Structure 1
Amino acid sequence: MSKLTVFTGSMFAGKSTALVEAGKKESKEGKTVLFIKPTLDSRYSDDEIVTHDGESVRAMVIDHDTQMGMHDFFTIMGADVVLFDEAQFFTDDLVEMVSDLVGEGKTVYVAGLNTDYKLKPFETTVKLIGIADEVNVLTAICADCAKQGATVTIKTSGSDDRIELGSEDIYKPVCPECYLTSAASFKGGDK
């Protein structure tokens, strides 16, 4: 049965972990599973999805503008379940690809940030949420007050570029209450 499930939320909320767990569960049920990540995400590995906890799975890497060769296309079509990580790094072409896969009877999972550090939505993720059968909004522990419920990612250093690869060295999750004070401390963080 085809279905689209989206995992979204702030950084460090467990989106990639949920994606990996979903893929492993589908694999245990005898389904052919294919993990996909964008070329842009090379933080921990060039050809693996790696969670912040260090768990990893092999992944097909496709251009973040979702340009694929015929080999990639046939590999994807041969899978029962297709799992995309870091949706925010893909163009809107990913939305069409996911819609086509679901239309072909595939089960699809997507993980992606909902907003950038300035609270501007990542359009690709938002559009995928709009067509999803199930949306799981995950939260992290707030780096400032240590309570569960961090829904926002802010920058603590680095440039004011919208997309800048990094982890704890550049970003932290905060709850809405702490966002108002934390965002102002980073010069690039417009409220």
Structure 2
Amino acid sequence: MLYEPSIIPSNVGWIEVICGGMFSGKTEELIRRAKRAHIAGQRVVIVKPAVDNRYSDKEIVSHDESALPGLVVDTADQMVLLTGESDVICVDEAQFFDNRIIQVAKSLANDGKRVIVAGLDMDYEGNPFEPMPQLLAIAEYVTKLHAVCSESGVMAHYSQRIVENKDRMLVGESEAYEPRARHCFRPPVDKRRGKPIQPLKTEAERTRNETESQKNADSDE
């Protein structure tokens, strides 16, 4: 169940945390909440750490390719300078910031702002991924999302690394990680157990591809 405030009093701030493993829809949920606030006429700013440039240098992009324009920051303190006139501050991939983000989030909330933070709550070894545990502790609202295990098909909340790399912070996608359930999680590194994640296609794209394939088949005849 998605747990977020439904009644928003004026001049009162708070912290919301969206957490979970890889491919659980954290950024997608962050974007959804940001869009709802924008539709309501609130001033929304989305920020992400500079280290996360997987899809775009300037946009916040989810695995399903939903995107919104955002600000890239090197440090959590930069958020205070860049979000002064905003009502809602959305922070993506919070696990890539240092512990300074804890005080920054508290300060923004104390100033009457709604702070929405999304990030991994566990690293590739299944250990708490700082600073997320501390953010979870001080948040008024917490939503934990789950993916689907690539091996067993049940609920997954671990991020299984499938490449040989022992760096705790490894920015990657389906080439480096798989979602795994507890009984399928084999830290620190395991081989790929599921099929590579393919991009979702719209009905129009599927129809177009089928038409092109049929044309190619007819031309071969």
- Measured in 2, the distance between the counterparts of 1:100 and 1:22 equals 21
Alignment of 1:14 onto 2:25: yes
How far residue 153 of structure 1 moved from its aligned partner, in angstroms, is 0.3
SS of 1:20's equivalent in the other structure is helix
Q: Which residue of 1 aligns with 2:89?
A: 82
How far residue 73 of structure 1 moved from its aligned partner, in angstroms, is 3.7
Deviates more, 1:41-50 or 1:151-160: 151-160
- Measured in 2, the distance between the counterparts of 1:52 and 1:158 equals 23
SS of 2:83's equivalent in the other structure is helix
User: When the two structures are aligned, how many residues end up with a matched partner?
Assistant: 180
Alignment of 1:141 onto 2:148: yes
Q: Which residue of 2 aligns with 1:61?
A: 72
- Measured in 2, the distance between the counterparts of 1:66 and 1:33 equals 17
Q: Which has the higher contact order (CA 8 A, sep 6+)?
A: 1
- Measured in 2, the distance between the counterparts of 1:4 and 1:83 equals 10
Give unmatched runs, 5+ long, in structure 1. none
How far residue 111 of structure 1 moved from its aligned partner, in angstroms, is 0.2
Letter in 1 for 2:187: A
- Measured in 1, the distance between the counterparts of 2:35 and 2:83 equals 17
Query: Does the 8 A contact of 2:13 with 2:112 survive in 1?
Result: yes
Q: Output one character per residue of 1:62-85: Cα deviation in whole Å (capped at 9) or x when no partner.
A: 10x3242xxx64430110000000
Query: Does the 8 A contact of 2:163 with 2:189 survive in 1?
Result: no
Q: Which residue of 1 aligns with 2:48?
A: 37
Query: Does the 8 A contact of 2:17 with 2:116 survive in 1?
Result: yes
4+ runs of 1 displaced by more than 6 Å? none
How far residue 184 of structure 1 moved from its aligned partner, in angstroms, is 6.6
Alignment of 1:186 onto 2:197: no
Cα distance change, pair 56–184 in 1 and its aligned pair in 2 (3 A):
closer
Query: Does the 8 A contact of 2:161 with 2:188 survive in 1?
Result: no
How far residue 158 of structure 1 moved from its aligned partner, in angstroms, is 3.8
Q: Which residue of 1 aligns with 2:165?
A: 159
Cα distance change, pair 41–185 in 1 and its aligned pair in 2 (3 A):
closer
- Measured in 1, the distance between the counterparts of 2:40 and 2:188 equals 48
TM-score (norm 1): 0.90
How far residue 112 of structure 1 moved from its aligned partner, in angstroms, is 0.5
- Measured in 2, the distance between the counterparts of 1:25 and 1:45 equals 22
Q: Which residue of 2 aligns with 1:97?
A: 104
Q: Output one character per residue of 1:117-138: Cα deviation in whole Å (capped at 9) or x when no partner.
A: 1012112111100000011010
Q: Output one character per residue of 1:74-111: Cα deviation in whole Å (capped at 9) or x when no partner.
A: 43011000000001000111111110000000001000
Q: Output one character per residue of 1:30-79: Cα deviation in whole Å (capped at 9) or x when no partner.
A: 1000000000101111111100001111111110x3242xxx64430110
Cα distance change, pair 185–30 in 1 and its aligned pair in 2 (3 A):
closer
**RMSD value over aligned CA atoms?**
1.5
